[in-house]
């Protein structure tokens, strides 16, 4: 094999990793627990929820906002982030993908890692590579323009309110 074929295999790994981290639902679901661990409260979630309900004409009379917020976080779901949401879902929280690190085994590209190969990978692929051992290296990609949104549909919020009123 030539250095060029190693570079092509490495770039394919980079592209696959980027696609996974920015478009696959299970990658987005990895962020879903963060809202209940403080991100919702940190981003003034309850006041944003109240404003959203006012804008959507959802009556909150007699509703415990803390309990509603818990339900919204629980029943919300992750979706790829977009600058505009035509569906007008409530944004529970948003998470930037940022920098992604991936460990690469030498068998993945068909060559042992050397300082020369790492230098070539840094010059000729879309990632920054670091040498660990002859069998292992790491690459880092910047996905800071991508993010995942934790959202909840207005119909779900209405259903939660109806359930709260029935109890």
Q: What is the helix (H) or strand (E) element at residue 164, kind and residue range?
A: helix 154-166
CA distances (Å), origin 88, targets 45, 91, 117:
16, 9, 49
Q: What is the pLDDT of residues 149-165, one digit of tens each?
A: 999 999 999 999 999 88
Residue 57 has phi, psi (to 5 degrees) of 70, 30
Helix (H, G, I), strand (E, B) or coil at 144: strand
- Which pLDDT score, from 0 to 100, does residue 1 have? 67
Q: What is the pLDDT of residues 2-22, one digit of tens each?
A: 778 889 999 999 999 999 999
Tens digits of per-residue pLDDT, 40-96?
A: 988 899 999 999 999 999 999 999 999 999 999 999 999 998 877 767 899 999 999
Pairing of strands 90-105, 128-131: unpaired
């Amino acid at each position: 094999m030539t250095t060029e074929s190693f570079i092509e295999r490495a770039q394919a790994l980079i592209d696959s990793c980027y696609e996974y981290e920015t478009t696959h639902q299970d990658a987005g679901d990895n962020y879903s627990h963060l809202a209940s661990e403080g991100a919702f409260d940190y981003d003034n979630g309850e006041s944003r929820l109240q404003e959203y309900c006012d804008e959507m004409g959802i009556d909150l009379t007699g509703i415990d906002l803390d309990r509603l917020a818990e339900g919204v976080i629980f029943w919300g779901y992750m979706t790829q982030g977009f600058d505009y949401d035509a569906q007008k879902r409530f944004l529970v929280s948003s998470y930037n993908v940022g920098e992604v690190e991936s460990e690469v085994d030498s068998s993945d590209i068909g060559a042992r890692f050397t300082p020369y190969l790492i230098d070539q990978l840094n010059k000729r692929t879309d990632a920054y590579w670091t040498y660990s051992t002859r069998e292992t290296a790491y690459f880092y990609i910047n996905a800071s323009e991508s993010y995942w949104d934790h959202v909840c549909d207005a119909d779900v919020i209405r259903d939660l309110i109806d359930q709260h009123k029935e109890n």
